[in-house]
Amino acid sequence: MTTTTEQDRESDQELIDQTQAYLEYRSRGLDPPPPLAAAWDRFYDCHTPRLRAVLAHWHLTAAEREDCLQEVWMAIVAHLSEFRPDPGRACLSTWLTTVVRNKAADVLRCRHPAAGLRGGAEDALLDTGLDPATDCERHEMRDRVRGVLAELSARVSPTSYQVLYQRRIEGRTVSEIAVALSLTPEQVRLHDYRTMHRFRALFERSMGRENHRLRPPSI
């Protein structure tokens, strides 16, 4: 006789299978059948509150949590097809929690202090979550962030840079930026997401340079 727990497990696995099938269709540029699209909606609605609950335990701002949640879902979309349940190992909830933890840790590592750029904003931008041991180290980190921002401004469109600057440094909301730059909220989020990835790549590259110190650009 099948127990309620076993039925729930089978139902969960069916939803995972259908969601993976949905994502497979989307990855091929095909329109998924309605039942699979409905399964994706159920999967999203079911897990979004859980992901938010996990993020709530991290010391992130409201804006960082929303951005992080988007990155978590992008990672889920990209890698859910690789997930295979194993009774002896991680279940789906554990896997999702790991994704959230990794993305949240990335945010803390890559926070960009803005106090040096605008009075107090640079401290927010420069705070990597590691609390520099000396003022000298903090000044060097600020200089590095400034240098990366200067390099970034030459590599992305003026609109993308303005979105990043207003969102991450000035702390404006998506709605405020959308109005200021005549963009839709979706366009603001897309610009912000892509530009943040460019920033992080440049920042990590600068951190990997040996025996080289960036001069602080004129800001």
Each residue of 162-193: pLDDT tens digit? 888 888 877 888 888 888 888 888 888 888 88
Do 60 and 132 lie in one domain? The reply is no
> Which CATH number belongs to the domain containing residue 101 in this structure?
1.10.1740.10
Q: Kindly report the average pLDDT of the chain as a whole number.
A: 75
Domain-terminating residue out of 82, 109, 136: 109
Structural domain including 187 reads 121-208
Report the distance separating Cα 187 and Cα 160, nearest Å.
10
Whose tokens are 């963009």? That residue is 183
The residue length of the chain stands at 219
Per the model's pLDDT, the better-predicted residue between 118 and 192 turns out to be: 192
| Among the listed residues 121, 194, 126, the one whose alpha carbon sits nearest the alpha carbon of residue 164 | 194
Would you call 114 helix, strand, or coil by DSSP? strand
Report the distance separating Cα 12 and Cα 8, nearest Å.
6
Contact assessment for residue 65 and residue 55, using Cβ atoms and an 8 Å cutoff: yes
Domain-terminating residue out of 55, 81, 109: 109
In the structure encoding, which two tokens stand for residue 8, read together? 């729930």
Contact assessment for residue 146 and residue 116, using Cβ atoms and an 8 Å cutoff: yes
Is pLDDT above 70 for 115? Answer: no
Do 94 and 142 lie in one domain? The reply is no
pTM of the model: 0.49
> What's the CA dihedral at 213, 215, 217, 219 to 10 degrees?
90
Per-residue pLDDT of 90-108, as tens digits, reads 588 888 988 898 888 877 7
Percent of the chain with pLDDT over 70: 71
pLDDT classification of 206: cutoffs 50, 70, 90: confident
pLDDT classification of 213: cutoffs 50, 70, 90: very low
| Cβ atoms < 10 Å from Cβ of 52 | 14
> Which CATH number belongs to the domain containing residue 178 in this structure?
1.10.10.10
| Cβ atoms < 10 Å from Cβ of 158 | 9
Would you call 33 helix, strand, or coil by DSSP? coil
Q: What pLDDT, on a 0 to 100 scale, did the predictor assign at position 129? A: 45
Do 9 and 84 lie in one domain? The reply is yes
In the structure encoding, which two tokens stand for residue 187, read together? 């366009």
Per-residue pLDDT of 34-67, as tens digits, reads 999 999 999 999 999 999 999 998 888 888 888 8
Percent of the chain with pLDDT over 90: 15
Do 171 and 101 lie in one domain? The reply is no
Per the model's pLDDT, the better-predicted residue between 85 and 24 turns out to be: 24
| Among the listed residues 192, 165, 217, the one whose alpha carbon sits nearest the alpha carbon of residue 67 | 192
Per the model's pLDDT, the better-predicted residue between 71 and 18 turns out to be: 18
Count of domains observed in the chain: 2
Do 131 and 55 lie in one domain? The reply is no
Q: What pLDDT, on a 0 to 100 scale, did the predictor assign at position 138? A: 55
Q: What pLDDT, on a 0 to 100 scale, did the predictor assign at position 49? A: 94
Q: What pLDDT, on a 0 to 100 scale, did the predictor assign at position 86? A: 64
pLDDT classification of 2: cutoffs 50, 70, 90: very low
Do 48 and 84 lie in one domain? The reply is yes
